[in-house]
Amino acid sequence: AEMFAREGAKVAVADMNGAEAKKVVKAINAAGGKAIAIQADISQADDAKRMVEETVKKFGKLNVLFNNAGVEHMSLVHEVTEEDWDRIMNVNLKGTWLCSKYAIPHLIAAGGGSMVHTASLSALKGRTGNACYGASKAGVLMMSQIMAVELAPQKVRSNCICPVVANTPMGERFLKSAMKLYGMDAGGAFDFEGAKQFAATTIPLQMLSEPDDIAYAAVYLASDESRLVTGTYITVDGGSRAA
């Protein structure tokens, strides 16, 4: 959100955690940007619709949708509960669909625009424990490609970003679950720094992704500099897809 604002975008910061969204908006506005905070659960149709409508009401139009909300999950496929399955699909896949559904008419009305969706390396590469999460993100990837074809006549582009595990709170939860699943949690103890160092050894460039790595890709895909890029994805994964 901060990088979009620095590039001159007026930003609606939407999150389930309204207080944290307001903190981000306060920082953006203090730096001279323009932003609003919207508390929303994008897995709920009413919230997704309201999020879009409040943005258009405030700023007059919609040019970009960045579907970045998501939740993680890791367990063996036969150990995934129905509750976990529904939660992951409702946020990661249904939520992306709902936000896109309500944003598309406004993007068309603006004369075209860009939708950017956070998928995952897990959408491209089968890995133990990622059945539920990977399936949700693979669904995002395919839906993005279909929307790109459907909306090309209206000059609305749709692309995905596929990151490797990130140095974020979600990344910490993911690595904690992974270490437990692989029996590497030292009897219940968890060392995030140690887990990050180990995870980095599995990535050709020996680095986890950072928020700015994803933001740079998102800003590119949102901008006119990528005007001929649609229906595809960018891997921000340190070479993991190729390995």
CB contact at 8 A, 171 and 165: yes
The reply to whether 133 belongs to the active site is yes
Rounded Cα distance between 222 and 227, Å, is 9
The residue among 213, 188, 177 whose CA lies nearest residue 75 is 177
Beta carbons of 219 and 229 less than 8 angstroms apart: no
The angle, 0 to 180 degrees and rounded to 10, between the axes of the packed helices 95-109 and 131-151 is 20
Rounded CA separation 71/99 (Å): 16
The strand pairing partners of 21, in sequence order, are none
Catalytic residue among 133, 182, 220, 233: 133
In angstroms, rounded to a whole number, what is the distance separating the alpha carbons of residues 233 and 120? Answer: 10
Task: Name the residue among 32, 30, 33, 39 with its Cα closest to residue 1.
Answer: 33
State how far the Cα of 213 lies from the Cα of 218, in Å rounded to an integer. Answer: 9
3-state secondary structure of 14: strand
Residue 48's φ and ψ, nearest 5 degrees, are -65, -45
- Tokens for 70? 């998501």
d(CA 104, CA 181): 40
The residues annotated as belonging to the active site are 133
